[in-house]
Amino acid sequence: MSRSLNIAVIPGDGIGQEVVAQGLKVLSAALPQDVKLETTEYDLGAQRWHRTGETLPDAELEALKGHDAILLGAIGDPSVPSGVLERGLLLKLRFAFDHYGNLRPSKLFPNTATPLAGSPEIDFVVVREGTEGPYTGNGGSLRTGTPAEVATEVSLNTAYGVERVVRDAYERADSRPRKKLTLVHKNNVLVYAGHLWKNVFDAVGKEYPEVTTDYLHVDAATIFFVTQPERFDVIVTDNLFGDILTDLAAAVTGGIGLAASGNINPTGAFPSMFEPVHGSAPDIAGTGKADPTATILSVALLLRHLGFDAEAVRIEEAVSADLAGRDGAFRTTEEIGDALAVRVAG
């Protein structure tokens, strides 16, 4: 029986275009011969906005629902007011498709540069809540642009939203050898949201007696990301803390060019979306300096999500071997993509 994979591709802005091309190359190389890959590219991002004023029209949102998964490069450009594309396109997708589990693994591959002393063993995954927190647009400003301006950006936390992502994180922790789950929040100051998170975390934990739990305030967590990253296995945290912590995690595990992510809708009601943790990097766009590895590892997450476990492992092993062979010599985005596609195909 022949199978098919129907992937929506949103290259987006800046280096997004460059790294997605390499991701697709490796995706094609990884798939078994009997799987027919169909990709549909969506012209969304800064150029589209300049041309039409649109960020994500309903017709495209509807069409995106019909795919098995979405591969996204990056969104955002200095020529577009900050927030227009980030909110109107990227967050709109995450919210519309209920991507409540934002999965961001961090692993220090052998021979990978880290600023940390002694190259500690780092292999953890951050499960970042993806649909709530301060990201919902629950705010506003009064007397805007005047010296008397007042602005709010209220963090929204529902028991429903917190419980489902906490449960997802327990499931993931339970399925990993170390079975450890750390909640990161700031419940010494954010007493309302923080206590909701901690109470739900403790209550759900009773159903997972095998999982060892820990709690850290987010400021202390940043210390341990640098001084003791090996203490982490699975981390669950809110939307904003997870955003910040995962850039830090990337920086200590070989750099932002290696950090992959999956915006998961665990129910399968909507397609999940896979993208590098990094942004459109306008400072290096068009130079060939962007490392496509984060996108290629995101393709591995996509494949695993769709049940292609062996193919995902092949990509991860290819990345590991490629990193082990890196000697610091400059390679372009395309050269890295080609090298990985050859390894995966071979």
Ligand X SMILES: NC(=O)c1ccc[n+]([C@@H]2O[C@H](COP(=O)([O-])OP(=O)(O)OC[C@H]3O[C@@H](n4cnc5c(N)ncnc54)[C@H](O)[C@@H]3O)[C@@H](O)[C@H]2O)c1
Ligand Y SMILES: CC(C)[C@H](C(=O)O)[C@@H](O)C(=O)O
| Site residues for ligand X per CB under 6 A | 15, 19, 74-76, 86, 90, 256-257, 275, 278-284, 290-291, 294
Q: 243 an active-site residue?
A: yes
Task: Tell me, residue by residue from 78 to 97, as one string, x for binding to ligand Y by CB under 6 A and - for no binding.
Answer: --------x---xx------
Q: Does 243 bind Mg ion (CB under 5 A)?
A: yes
- Identify the active-site residue in 107, 186, 238, 322: 186
Q: Does 322 bind Mg ion (CB under 5 A)?
A: no
Would you say 105 or 341 has its CB closer to ligand Y? 105
Q: Least Å distance between CB 10 and Mg ion?
A: 17
Would you say 257 or 271 has its CB closer to ligand X? 257
Among 271, 298, 274, residue whose Cα is nearest residue 67: 271
Q: Least Å distance between CB 247 and ligand Y?
A: 7
CB-based burial label for 214 (10 Å; 0-12, 13-18, 19+):
middle
Q: Evaluate whether 135 touches 120 at the Cβ level (below 8 Å).
A: no
Would you say 86 or 163 has its CB closer to ligand Y? 86
105 binds, among Mg ion, ligand X, ligand Y, none (CB under 5 to 8 A by kind): none
Q: Which residues 274-303 are close enough to bind ligand Y by CB under 6 A?
A: 277, 279
Token pair 């129910």 in the structure block, residue: 267
Q: 219 an active-site residue?
A: yes
91 binds, among ligand Y, ligand X, Mg ion, none (CB under 5 to 8 A by kind): ligand Y
Q: Least Å distance between CB 86 and ligand Y?
A: 4
What own/partner pairs with CB < 8 Å and gap ≥ 24 does 208-212 have? 208/170, 208/173, 208/174, 208/181, 210/174, 210/179, 211/170, 211/173, 211/174, 211/179, 211/180, 211/181, 212/179, 212/180, 212/181
Question: Phi and psi for 202 in degrees, rounded to 5?
Answer: -70, -40
8 in a labelled binding site: no
The two beta strands, 35-41 and 272-276, are: unpaired
Bridge partners (DSSP) listed for residue 7: 39, 69
How many whole angstroms separate alpha carbon 70 and alpha carbon 263? 9
Among 118, 106, 41, residue whose Cα is nearest residue 254: 106
- Identify the active-site residue in 25, 135, 168, 238: 135
Question: Phi and psi for 260 in degrees, rounded to 5?
Answer: -105, 160
181 binds, among ligand X, ligand Y, Mg ion, none (CB under 5 to 8 A by kind): none
How many whole angstroms separate alpha carbon 331 and alpha carbon 63? 37
Token readout for 264 is: 């998961």
Q: Least Å distance between CB 71 and ligand X?
A: 12
Q: 247 an active-site residue?
A: yes
Q: Least Å distance between CB 181 and ligand X?
A: 25
Element containing residue 115 per DSSP (H, E): none
Q: Does 129 bind Mg ion (CB under 5 A)?
A: no
Q: Of 129, 243, 316, 322, which lies in the binding site for ligand Y, with binding defined by CB under 6 A?
A: 243
101 in a labelled binding site: no
Q: Evaluate whether 243 touches 261 at the Cβ level (below 8 Å).
A: no
Q: Least Å distance between CB 310 and ligand Y?
A: 28
Token readout for 117 is: 């002393």
Would you say 26 or 91 has its CB closer to ligand Y? 91
Would you say 157 or 246 has its CB closer to Mg ion? 246
Among 21, 90, 17, residue whose Cα is nearest residue 243: 90
Instruction: Please enumerate, by residue number, every residue annotated as part of a binding site for substrate.
Output: 94, 104, 128, 219
Catalytic residues: 135, 186, 219, 243, 247
Binding site for Mg ion (CB under 5 A): 243
Instruction: Please enumerate, by residue number, every residue annotated as part of a binding site for Mg(2+).
Output: 219, 243, 247
Instruction: Please enumerate, by residue number, every residue annotated as part of a binding site for NAD(+).
Output: 279-291
Binding site for ligand Y (CB under 6 A): 76, 86, 90-91, 243, 277, 279
